[in-house]
Structure 1
Amino acid sequence: MEFEHVTFDLPHGTFHALQGGDPDGRPTVVLHGFPDHPLTAKPFLAELARHGRRVLAPWLRGYAPSPTAGPFDFASLTGDVLALIDRWSPGRAVELIGHDWGALITYDTVVTAPERIERAVTLAVPHPITFLSRPRLAQLRRIWYMGLFQLPGSGWMASARDLAFIDRLWRQWSPGFSLDPALQAELHEHLRASMPAPIKYYRAMLRPGMIGATRRLSQPIEVPLLQLYGADDGCFLPPKVDDRHRFAAPHAMEIVPDVGHFLHIEAPEAIAKRIAAWAN
């Protein structure tokens, strides 16, 4: 299935995206995470389209060719997504799917503007308040890179010529999975043009603006939401605490066997099928 490269002039600049699928289908926006971009997920986007979706997958703020200038606080990132939705799907709520940082933005978007989101899916990342409330030692060991990114010079290390550090994270987070070499080369090209902006997401986590986001995220989610986790994820563990009280609308959580952190890239057909079955 063919996807076209489209652009949107938004308040923060010109944002780029992939667009495709059924023009009359359910509008679905897919948000990527770190360190990734929409092109690696094209098989997943195509599977969503086969399930009757009109799909849009933008390069988020900080990821070339979209604007790489900050700030990178939640309000700004969520504002980009809502501005994009208003331009792309005026007057009609969308299905929002987010992976990794895209999942965090999804959690914030559904509490910021629930009327714009028909339903949501988060991939690989638990609700941030749930995650922060009882961090397990095994989980803290897996997110060592977040502390590293606070150090001066970490942007240089992550953007070294061969991007070996980024490749190491992919292997650690999705053990047993290898990204197609052509897709990997394409990802490297975009990340070289983006760095160090993607790392600034993590630095923004410790800024005062996060207080407002924490207050928003403490509100019950009033949008139907599905959480999917890979059983072999080397980055995030599924939560063991009961956080059903965070959801005031239909909610489900599933652990998908035999996939890691990039579950929608590893098993695009299976993940799209699970989303379609839940949404219908």
Structure 2
Amino acid sequence: MRRETVHVRGLEFSCLVDGPEDAPLMLMLHGFPEYSGAWADMIGRLSDRWFCVAPDQRGYNLTEKPAETEAYATGKIGADAIAMIEHWRPGGKAHALIGHDWGAGAAYNAAMRAPEKIERLVIVNGVHPLPFQRELLKDGPQREASQYIRWLRRPDSHEKLAEDDCQGVIRMLERKMEMTWMTPEKKAAYKEAWSRPGALKAMVDWYRATPLVVPEMGEEADASILEKLDPAAMRIRMPHLLIWGLDDGALLPECREGLPDLCDDLEMVEIAGADHWIIHQKPEEVAGHIRRFLDR
């Protein structure tokens, strides 16, 4: 496993790469508040047959960090993934695009916009924006679980997260989750990534730039928000695997309601004894499902 820096869409991206360079491309997108190293266990289990690329996404760790909040709009992040595929496979495709958490948002966006560049889509505890927005408009458990997004959108949230050696970020990671996977070595690597100049602001800017509407609890939601979303434009046309850790306290099972209606070919796998950090808690099981799906 090695690091390579690539120039894509005017930015330098640092990527973890491993596997035969002529093998089918597997692009792996991390979420908040992680970095490319989140995929190390998966890469170690999949790079025998795939050329695995896990970038530090824009604003994260060693990748460049534009200053403007608008630079982190979901469409731009999705476009990064499409351009990354073109960089590694000019004129070709990714055999698999994999996303977790916010990486799922980037992966879904790329899959909607450029289905011709992606053969298979794998999402691990991540949400399609249409069912997710629908749940957030309900004054129910998912809206309550997502109130942290409102806090992250505050102008000073990244400064609060950085206080006391990034303890605010650690608390967010641990919120309703099982954390035995976070060894002292991993924690040190994560803190190093968060402590890079401008990193925490850039990471939080993903939340500030998204059009996702998260009302306060008890607030009446504007139902017309859903009318502005076009299901046809948000359809997933390639074979799609959703892997779901059942104990996730941030993304609840109701976020998946209606997803089959938005997909041409969807398979859902539920894994007990795992939560939002499933790729760390159950790497062997997750990798096994990915292999089986790609061999289908």
Normalised to the residue count of structure 2, the TM-score between the two structures is 0.86
Distance 1:76 1:214, change over 3 A: farther
In structure 2, what residue type is equivalent to 1:238? P
The count of aligned residue pairs is: 274
Is the CA contact (8 Å cut-off) linking 1:21 and 1:46 kept in structure 2? no
Is the CA contact (8 Å cut-off) linking 2:28 and 2:39 kept in structure 1? no
Corresponding residue for residue 60 of structure 1: 57
- For residues 32-78 of structure 1, what are the alpha-carbon distances to aligned partners after superposition, in whole Å with 9 as ceiling and x for unaligned? 0000011132111111214x111000000011210111411122111
Corresponding residue for residue 74 of structure 1: 74
Is the CA contact (8 Å cut-off) linking 1:27 and 1:55 kept in structure 2? yes
% identity of equivalent residues: 25
Corresponding residue for residue 203 of structure 1: 208
Corresponding residue for residue 161 of structure 2: 158
Corresponding residue for residue 182 of structure 1: 185
Is the CA contact (8 Å cut-off) linking 1:171 and 1:177 kept in structure 2? no
Corresponding residue for residue 100 of structure 1: 101
Is the CA contact (8 Å cut-off) linking 1:34 and 1:198 kept in structure 2? yes
Instruction: Report deviation, 1:152.
Output: 2.4
The separation in 2 between residues aligned to 1:214 and 1:116, in whole angstroms, is: 23
Normalised to the residue count of structure 1, the TM-score between the two structures is 0.91
The separation in 1 between residues aligned to 2:231 and 2:246, in whole angstroms, is: 29
In structure 1, what residue type is equivalent to 2:292? A
Corresponding residue for residue 2 of structure 2: 4
Instruction: Report deviation, 1:218.
Output: 4.5
**Unmatched segments (≥5 aa) in structure 2:** 214-224
In structure 2, what residue type is equivalent to 1:182? E
Is the CA contact (8 Å cut-off) linking 1:111 and 1:217 kept in structure 2? no
Moved more, 75-84 or 173-182: 173-182
**Unmatched segments (≥5 aa) in structure 1:** none
Corresponding residue for residue 36 of structure 1: 34
Is the CA contact (8 Å cut-off) linking 2:78 and 2:106 kept in structure 1? yes
**Residue in structure 1 matching 2:243, options 228, 237, 247:** 228
The separation in 1 between residues aligned to 2:171 and 2:257, in whole angstroms, is: 30
In structure 1, what residue type is equivalent to 2:47? A
Is the CA contact (8 Å cut-off) linking 1:35 and 1:198 kept in structure 2? yes
Is the CA contact (8 Å cut-off) linking 2:35 and 2:61 kept in structure 1? no
Moved more, 126-135 or 169-178: 169-178
